[in-house]
Structure 1
Amino acid sequence: MKWNKYTLKTTTEATDFVSGIMIELGINGIQIEDNLQITQEEKEKMFIDYLPDLPEDDGVAYISFYTEENADDENDENLLESLREKLKEANGFINIGEGSIEKSTTEDVDWVNNWKKYFKSFTVGDFYIKPTWESVDEKCSHMQMIEIDPGTAFGTGKHETTQLCINQLTKYIKAGDEVLDLGCGSGILSIVAKKLGAGHVDMTDIDQAAIDAVYDNFKVNKIPMDDVEVILGNVLDDEKMQQKFENKKYDVVVANILADVIIPIAGIVDRFLKDGGIFISSGIIYMKEEAVKEAVENNRGLKLTDVVKQGDWRAVMAEKR
């Protein structure tokens, strides 16, 4: 589907105010581009694969919004005229900047694919992980290769939390192990598990986009799914899912999500583990480390065994008593 994209050139100090004006006019889906540096506090709240390397802030910001290309042009013009009038009024007490509005067209496919320029191949332990659209680096041809196209699902593997999990899976997975991947995203951790010799693998995610990505990524890595099950749903809310996993029992359960989700999972995950089974959890910012450790220690069926650090992120491991 094609869209009209309108981009307003303004100032960083005016972005909040101008965004408010746009919302008042019924504009949704606002996109802000500026060179404001991300604060440490903001970084700690994020859970993304890449932070952009921004140039020095020049005080300029761009705010974009979209309308359907086939929509009535007169409606767009009326909207733009109302926006211009509001900006004129606001410029009397806040620096709006240039205030020019440029029009262009874009497609849905652009939004899906534009981020790909930031995803480059990398290595973790013995694994060489590369995007499907990039050619193989011959220097890494001796390594175990994993190809990933996350689509709109989370998980290229580049983020510290995923790398922590990959290293722990390498440490704990044994041939034939039964593995449960909670919050599987693109499926990269389950692919790693299979490459390490895992037997049956069950995977869950609350996002259909993740489920779709899993099938695509297993296919591109030529891994059969005869002994793989992918389930859409939330293990914390779905008692039938909990019962299924409890009846089955796993050698390894891995959850690379966020601390606020891992904490309640830690209260029930022992039910899914075989005796001596390992729970690998990551997605834990350093400020939440103690809370996750406390949740693990409060579950009498678990024994806290290790905490591994990478940058600001932590992986917490526990064993089924």
Structure 2
Amino acid sequence: MKWKKYTIETTTAAEDFMSSMLMDLGIEGIEIEDNIPLTKEDQADMFIDFLPELPPDEGISHVSFYVEEDGSDQTEILKQVKIGLEKLRDMVEVGSGVITSSETEDLDWINNWKKYFTSFTIDDILIKPTWEELKEEDKDKFLIEIDPGISFGTGKHETTQLCIRQLQKYVEGKHPKVLDVGCGSGILSIVALKLGAREVVGTDLDADCMTSTRDNMQVNHLDLSLGTFYVGNLIDDEELQEKVGTEEYEIVVANILAPVIIAMAPVIPARLKQGGYFITSGIIDFKENEVKEAIEAAGLTVVEINHQGEWVNITAQKQ
């Protein structure tokens, strides 16, 4: 299979905004190239003795995305990207914005990325890929093992970490029933169960996520009867809304994207019990107010807003 690679020349200040815009358009497989020096933490994660010498950081970044050559309306996609790029100019210096293209052959993307996913901690939680041996000194730690497969969710992204910290705060000692919207690899469902949730229900648009989630539950020695998972869109699928249930959850968690959260907000209060919490992330910082307003318009009260890098968590309550 051949893919068309499109590369946008932009600035390092705009690269996260650019990535968020592309994700909002449904584009996946985004790649960022820049010459920003690595932090000590980044260097430690890479396990490389001698880093290559990079050219000076001149604030230039190249953000690339891939479009399948067959079956994709590339003209329409490029049109939407250019519109999004122009909108970003009102918020941040995007640089030249020149878009170039090239062809690339299909690669083993599903497995090649694994060399970049290594064990790490979120506070006192150790998250380890299934293919990595558990170190002797880590055997007594609070452990989550994950193989995302082709689903989103290793836990390394800031948005996932924001949600995990909120689950720690609102799940431990309370044994809630949790709804995980956009469950991906199942990492948030698994964290919730291991923190003490009595049951989880998950939804995702991708049927592969059901397999990933159940496989990861088994890897973490969790009883499969504790989780029920459905394929579908909670926003407008009334049959799915009925299956998920009304006023059944102490917690709904959604690590998706700002436009999806905005569209979903009106159906969340009906899922929550009185006093229940909606924990959400996937929100780039310049969309914080828009998402907050949508959540409040749905009748929920925002009780916490947390930031990590340029990403935002909003936690709201049904009062």
Q: Return the letter of the residue paired with 1:123.
A: T
Match of 2:14 among 34, 41, 63: 41
CA contact (8 A) 1:175 1:196 kept: no
Q: Is residue 187–residue 217 contact of structure 1 (8 Å, CA) maintained in 2?
A: yes
Deviation at 1:223, TM superposition (A): 0.8
**Residues 148 and 188 of structure 1 are in contact (CA less than 8 Å); yes or no, is this contact kept in structure 2?**
yes
In structure 1, what residue type is equivalent to 2:161? Q
| Distance in 2 separating the partners of 1:295 and 1:260 | 10
* Distance (whole Å) between structure 1 residues aligned to residue 307 and residue 160 of structure 2: 12
Which aligned pairs between 1:150-161 and structure 2 lie closer than 5 A? 150-161=148-159
| Residue 52 to residue 228, structure 1, CA distance change in 2 (3 Å) | farther
1:15-57 deviation digits (Å, cap 9, x = unpaired):
xxxxxxxxxxxxx4134799x7863323224368996676449
| Residue 196 in structure 1 maps to residue 201 in structure 2 | no
Asked whether the equivalents of residues 201 and 227 of structure 1 are also in contact (C-alpha less than 8 Å), the reply is yes
1:133: which partner in 2?
131
Aligned residues: 257
2:27 is the counterpart of 1:29: no
Q: Secondary structure at the match of 1:236?
A: coil
Q: 1:56 to 1:129 in 2, by over 3 A?
A: same
- Describe the shift of the 1:171–1:56 C-alpha distance in structure 2 as closer, same or farther (beyond 3 A): same
Cα 1:176–1:236 shift into 2, 3 Å: same
CA offsets 1:152-195 (integer angstroms, 9 cap, x no match):
11110000000000000000014431000000010000000000
Determine the structure 1 residue equivalent to 2:120. 122
Give me the whole-angstrom Cα distance separating, in 1, the residues matched to 2:240 and 2:270.
Answer: 12
Please tell me whether the aligned partners of residues 246 and 272 of structure 2 are also in contact (alpha carbons under 8 angstroms): no
What TM-score, normalized to structure 1? 0.71
The one-letter code sitting in structure 2 at the alignment partner of 1:251 is E
Distance of aligned partners of 1:107 and 1:290 in 2 relative to their CA distance in 1, 3 Å threshold: closer
Alignment deviations for residues 85-143 of structure 1 (CA, whole Å, 9 cap, x no partner):
xxxxxxxxxxxxxxxx9x9xx987x3310011111111012210011111113333322
Query: Aligned residue for 1:180?
Result: 179
Q: Is the 8 A contact 2:183 2:202 kept in 1?
A: yes
Query: What is the CA RMSD across the aligned residues, in angstroms?
Result: 3.4
Matched, 1:259 2:227: no
Instruction: Tell me the amino acid that sits aligned with residue 209 of structure 1.
Output: D
Runs of 5+ unmatched residues, structure 1: 4-27, 68-100
SS of the residue 1:134 aligns to:
coil
Q: List gaps (5 residues or longer) in structure 2.
A: 21-28, 36-53, 57-61, 70-102
CA distance in 2, matches of 1:49, 1:141: 35
Deviations 1:275-302 (A, max 9, x none): 00000010000000000111112122x1
**Corresponding residue for 1:97?**
none
**Correspondence for 1:216:** 215
CA contact (8 A) 1:306 1:318 kept: yes
Q: Quote the Cα distance in structure 1 between the aligned partners of 2:68 and 2:280.
A: 39
Q: Return 250-259 or 140-149, whichever deviates more.
A: 140-149
Secondary structure (helix, strand or coil) at the match of 1:222 reads coil
Q: More displaced, 241-250 or 140-149?
A: 241-250
Distance 1:316 1:149 in 2: 27
Question: Who is 1:309 aligned against?
Answer: 307
Q: Which residue of 1 aligns with 2:77?
A: none
Q: TM-score, normalised by structure 2?
A: 0.71
Residue 209 to residue 66, structure 1, CA distance change in 2 (3 Å): closer
Distance 1:50 1:310, change over 3 A: farther
Matched, 1:171 2:177: no
Cα contact 2:205–2:231 (8 A) shared by 1: yes
Q: Percent identity?
A: 45
Give secondary structure in 2 for the equivalent of 1:30.
strand
Q: Is 2:230 the counterpart of 1:231?
A: yes
Q: Would the aligned equivalents of 1:156 and 1:188 in 2 still touch at CA under 8 Å?
A: yes
Partner of 1:83: none
Contact 2:175 2:198 in 1 (8 A): yes
Which amino acid counterpart does residue 230 of structure 2 have in structure 1?
I
Could you say which structure has the larger radius of gyration? Answer: 1
